Amino acid sequence: MTASLSLIQQYGPQVLSGFGITIVSWLGAVVLGMALGFLIAVLQLFAGRWVRTVLRIYIEVLRTTPFLVQLFILYYGGPNFGLSLQALDAGIIALAIYGSAYFAEVFRSGFTSVPRGHLEAAQCLGMSRLTTIWRVQLPQMLVIITPSLVNLIIILSKETSVLSIVTVPELTAILTQIGSEQFIYVQTMLILSVCYLLLVGVTQKLGSWAEARASRFLQH
């Protein structure tokens, strides 16, 4: 017990710092990924055929290749093309790009799930395409896709552990280092599991609250 308390005192600040970087990486990737995914979804629905073809290739490549490979290409291969990024920046951008392909599909399916009659009614009222998207499709789409969005956000939270491979000092990297120094791999992995359990648990609670609010909105 004394040894455990000593380790907590010694490494506690490092663990908290790593956990903070994990949260920053995750939230940054979610915000950027959702914004890019939404843009891609809109372009897929309303842009020309060649743009849709390019975006479909983009989505399929990202969905069919491992995130680790994409991260390596961006971080280690970027300097070959004049793109030199810090490890944390590369991690957030890579995770956002990876997530954007999945967010785009969720948003696209949400747009197409809005009843056709609602769109025709908006046209009869003289609404422009942009107004129809903003006032008719977007509110209904967000209600429909809330559970899928929450699931994707949770998946991205766990993918942050991959960032340790490119030296991002997030939670996995810190606890792995502590385990190697003190030969307490089981304990550090248990701490890692508990931290992610807390992170996912809070996200699920917030997602359930958002889903309940969205459901009430749809009923009204």
* In the chain, where the domains are located: 10-219
Quote the CA–CA distance of 68 and 81 in Å, as a whole number: 19
Report the candidate in 49, 19, 68 with the shortest Cα–Cα distance to residue 178.
19
Contact 102, 124 (CB under 8 A): no
Quote the CA–CA distance of 23 and 26 in Å, as a whole number: 5
Contact 96, 104 (CB under 8 A): no
Mean pLDDT of the chain: 87
Q: What's the rounded mean pLDDT across residues 45-73? A: 93
pLDDT tens sequence across 64-77? 999 999 999 999 99
Class for domain 10-219, per CATH?
A: mainly alpha
Tokens of residue 21, six digits: 């970087």
Quote the CA–CA distance of 167 and 69 in Å, as a whole number: 15
Quote the CA–CA distance of 82 and 73 in Å, as a whole number: 13
Q: Worst-scoring range by mean pLDDT, 85-89, 144-148, 168-172?
A: 144-148
Contact 95, 68 (CB under 8 A): no
**Model-level pTM?**
0.88
Report percent pLDDT > 70 for the chain: 93
- Under the banding of pLDDT at 50, 70 and 90, the label for residue 86 is very high
Q: What is the 3-state secondary structure (H, E, C) of 66-116?
A: CHHHHHHHHHHHHHHHCCCCCHHHHHHHHHHHHHHHHHHHHHHHHHHCCCH
Q: Worst-scoring range by mean pLDDT, 122-126, 150-154, 207-211?
A: 122-126
- Under the banding of pLDDT at 50, 70 and 90, the label for residue 183 is confident
- Under the banding of pLDDT at 50, 70 and 90, the label for residue 1 is very low
